Chain A
Amino acid sequence: MANIISDETIEYVGILAKLELSGEEKEQAKKDMGSMLDYIDKLGELDTEGVEPMSHVFPVKNVFREDIVTNEDVRDEILKNAPGEKNGMFTVPRTFE
């Protein structure tokens, strides 16, 4: 395997991805990511010098519309889906003292 994923890298990816991995999951993730990157490295065979990155297949630019409210107030229904709700608001863990 050409790509060796270090403990530091997998730790960093865990922070970016907001995932907490067990020791076993970390080892598996290192292996899986390494082999995927080996595979993706195949793209290096292609000369893409001067090729513009294509994010959208059609030449569509920003699409604007007037910011007009068209939906009704469904706050109560929306809050029904929340794991925590109080006084018509989402509850979150305390973030600062």
Chain B
Amino acid sequence: MSILDMTACQLAAAIKNKEVTVLEATKAVLAQIHEKEEKYHCYVTVDEEGALAQAQEVQKKIDAGVLTGALAGVPVAIKDNMCTQGLLTTCSSKILNNFVPTFSSEAVLNLQRAGAVILGKTNMDEFAMGSTTETSAYGETKNPWNTEHVPGGSSGGSAAAVAAKECFYALGSDTGGSIRQPASFCGVVGLKPTYGRVSRYGLIAYGSSLDQIGPLCKDVTDCAAIMEVISTHDKKDSTSVFREDTDFTSALVEDVKGMRIGIPRDYFGEGLDSQVRDAVLKAAEVLKEKGAVVEEFDLSLVEYAIPTYYTIAAAEASSNLERFDGIKYGYRAEGYEGLHDMYKKTRSQGFGAEVKRRIMLGSFVLSSGYYDAYYLKALRVKALIKKAFDEAFAKYDVIIGPVAPTTAPKLGESLSDPIKMYLGDIYTISVNLAGLPGLSMPCGIDSKGLPIGLQLIGDCFNEKKLIQTAYTYEKSRGVFGRKEDR
């Protein structure tokens, strides 16, 4: 097996057995980046020199027996909204075109402690606001399955880099589906953990009550191994939760006998592509044959998730993005008169259209006179949505459904109609509102040759049930990948 075809865990095992060195693996993936980047543009920054230096350091620690973990020596890509000390971090925005953080985010530090080699920073929708990676200030990423299509977003660069073998795994962040949807569009595995599982320290905030960092990777085994490394309690993030049940790889068991799986009828209505529907229902059938108890139910409130989400996310974004003022870091406009003019010019020139749209909506729903009617109303509906999930999880271990209504759209087709684009988030968004874990994995290929994603949703802190179900399905499904790769 060639190095690039290995999963993260396979590569780490090969390194441990001295079949491959960390430097060989790093050079192989850098060569792949050189060859494919022009075509796919997964990265904003590739840190070739840094990666080669890290590779040698990590190899020494492996040889000395200091690093023994399941991911030691494996090169990784990081979404460009996570701070990396000494390495440009742009959030794919012009306003952070020259920002070099003085510290690293906790999730990245956890990976480095486990022996990761950081390859670079992946492209994304500007400030993670978008579903296609087309709102990046640094150009669009192409879907490796078909370069006329988007990779999804906002973690589109991370998903595409995994699919194009330009890394062995990647970190992304998910505020309304930004890990799961690109994973689905690029045919890889992605997990949005329970809110609080992974520290958000050093993650440049979009919607703080919804943001969560998680893995994008080649298979469910990698997903569990990465989760074990990044799920830690962090005092620097007051929403980080202390948990002892972080032995995710113990859930890599091929068994769903008696697992109660619910299919929400409301996820299979109007707007869902028939090929996506069939593939998802077929996957549910596979799990039933394996002994799971599968039944349909009514989740309710599904159509209210998107307006609730956009109110809350825009409100939080308008507040979080106040810090970009042209003083402490990033871009500053030229030719201004006084402080306020400098703020306005800097922000107007530094932010793209989608970011401005959400900042304005957020400022409006938080403004005096509208706060109760819009913002508090959305928080009340959020409570109702959470309650609907609580009731569902009293009956089911796992909820199964599509990730997105369609497979990846063509480049240039989504941004002209924002509401239509927002509607594509319908199956992922309520998971963030309720703080739940959600896993996306490939379950088929449509007639256009694009991957179809299956979503598994669990109750809070029930990632292990998702991993067990996903692992069982993956075993029956078999190896998944692009034709040219198989």
Residues of B within 8 A of A (CB): 98-100, 102-103, 195-196, 209, 235, 238-239, 241, 301, 303-304, 306-308, 310-311, 318, 322, 325-332, 336, 338-345, 347-348, 351, 356-357, 359-365, 367, 374, 376-384, 386, 418-419, 434-435, 460
With A39-B419, A53-B380 as known contacts, state yes or no: A82 contacts B360, CB within 8 Å.
Answer: no
Q: Verify if A69 is at the interface (C-beta below 8 Å from B).
A: no
Which single member of A39, A56, A92 contacts B209 (CB below 8 Å)? Answer: A56
* Cα distance, A39 to B381, chains bound together (Å): 14
The interface bits of chain A over 60-71 (1 if a CB of B lies within 8 angstroms of the residue's CB, else 0) are 101101000001
With A51-B384, A90-B327 as known contacts, state yes or no: A18 contacts B343, CB within 8 Å.
Answer: yes
Residues of A within 8 A of B (CB): 9-10, 12-14, 16-21, 25, 29, 32-33, 35-37, 39-46, 48, 51-58, 60, 62-63, 65, 71, 74, 77-78, 80-84, 90, 92-95
Q: Is the interface of B mostly helix, strand, loop or mixed?
A: helix
With A39-B307, A42-B304, A48-B384 as known contacts, state yes or no: A19 contacts B338, CB within 8 Å.
Answer: no
With A13-B364, A36-B419, A51-B384 as known contacts, state yes or no: A93 contacts B100, CB within 8 Å.
Answer: no
Closest B-chain residue to A51, C-beta based?
B380
The answer to whether B348 touches A19, judged by C-beta atoms less than 8 angstroms apart, is yes
The answer to whether A83 touches B331, judged by C-beta atoms less than 8 angstroms apart, is yes
The answer to whether B367 touches A13, judged by C-beta atoms less than 8 angstroms apart, is yes
Residues of A within 8 A of B460 (CB): 57-58
A31 to chain B, nearest CB (A): 10
15 contacts between A and B (CB under 8 A): A10-B360, A13-B360, A13-B364, A17-B362, A18-B325, A19-B347, A19-B348, A20-B347, A21-B356, A40-B365, A53-B382, A57-B209, A57-B435, A82-B327, A92-B342
Residues of A within 8 A of B357 (CB): 29, 32-33
With A83-B327, A90-B328 as known contacts, state yes or no: A40 contacts B363, CB within 8 Å.
Answer: no
The answer to whether B332 touches A83, judged by C-beta atoms less than 8 angstroms apart, is yes
Closest A-chain residue to B351, C-beta based?
A19
Residues of A within 8 A of B434 (CB): 57
With A29-B357, A48-B384, A55-B209 as known contacts, state yes or no: A81 contacts B328, CB within 8 Å.
Answer: yes
Closest A-chain residue to B376, C-beta based?
A53
The answer to whether B311 touches A40, judged by C-beta atoms less than 8 angstroms apart, is yes
